[in-house]
Amino acid sequence: MSDTPQDSVSSYSFDDDAGSQTAASETAASEFAIDRVEQSPVPPMSQEQAQKISEIVGSLGDENVSKTDKSKMMLELTNVVGARAKQLGSSAIGRGRVLSELLLDAVPHIPIRDQATLVQHYDGLTGEALADALVSHAKRTTMTIGIAGGAVAAAEWAAMPMLLAIPLEVVVETIAVALVEVKLVAELHAVYGIEVPGGSTQRAMAFAGSWSSKRGVDPLRPWTIPSVLGIAGRQTLGRRMIARFARNLGTVIPFFVGAGIGAVVNRGETDKMARELRVDLRRLSEEEQAAR
């Protein structure tokens, strides 16, 4: 069995519903009008930028790509994310809402595999064994992001414009790790047979909410997870992003020590999130089977 999933043959991608994403963003903007006095509006991410982020994050999970190349990808990702983040001003970088907007811009472009495709990619594994394999791969990927992010941070220390560059590096690592984990959340729903209704962007937002709350999406009671397009859901997502951002600050410790810290923190956080989510997905799966 290959440890490198072949995302190029995904059964569906969130990217096919970009139009509804724009409408959803407009709705969210109107709901968040109350805090526009304090927070600058977030400029929209272009289709090209979002697609590039998706490609880079996918490559970071490819175990056939060298560590050197992955560090270069993190630098490239920094350029893409930085082009948007810098428009917001340095004081906005650590805001939960800014991190949330960056995540929600990119999530609909991440390719997600259905159950049949996952079984094929993991040589016939099903059920808990398949879920274990997905979690293991996600943990290795987030560890890799921590190592690559630490290497980039170490290079910035050597160059010494570190005080300007490092906050952006931590933002990039936070976004990359969150995207890997949202992808894991979506595919674990597929493994446990939880069908999330709606268009591709609607599903993307539902899985982002599931990641934020560490709970499964109940198709019969979708209101149990606040929509990330509403005020309550965005606040929850913002707090979750800020918490990950704070944990990733260890990456900036110099001389590659930060790379080791980042790897360990990311692995532990991904494992914790997956364990909590799987408990809820098992419950939802059992309830759905009992209702049939």
CA dihedral 176, 56, 205, 129 (to 10 degrees): -80
Residue 282 pLDDT: 96
Residue 194 pLDDT: 94
Rounded CA-CA distance 226/91 in Å is 28
Residue 44 pLDDT: 66
109 contacts 50 by C-beta, under 8 angstroms: yes
- pTM summary value: 0.78
Domain chopping of the chain, boundaries: 9-291
Listed in sequence order, the residues at least 6 apart from 242 whose beta carbon sits closer than 8 Å to its beta carbon are: 94, 95, 96, 99
117 contacts 9 by C-beta, under 8 angstroms: yes
Instruction: Name the residue among 161, 179, 169 with its Cα closest to residue 250.
Output: 169
Rounded CA-CA distance 180/167 in Å is 20
Q: What is the pLDDT along the chain (292 residues), one digit of tens a residue?
A: 445 444 433 444 454 444 444 344 433 333 333 333 344 455 567 788 888 888 888 888 888 888 788 878 888 888 887 777 666 555 555 566 778 888 888 899 888 999 999 999 999 999 999 999 999 999 999 988 887 755 444 444 444 344 344 467 778 888 899 999 999 999 999 999 999 988 888 899 999 999 999 999 998 787 777 677 787 788 888 888 888 877 776 555 544 444 567 678 889 999 999 999 999 999 999 988 887 6
End-to-end Cα separation, the chain, in angstroms? 34
Residue 187 pLDDT: 97
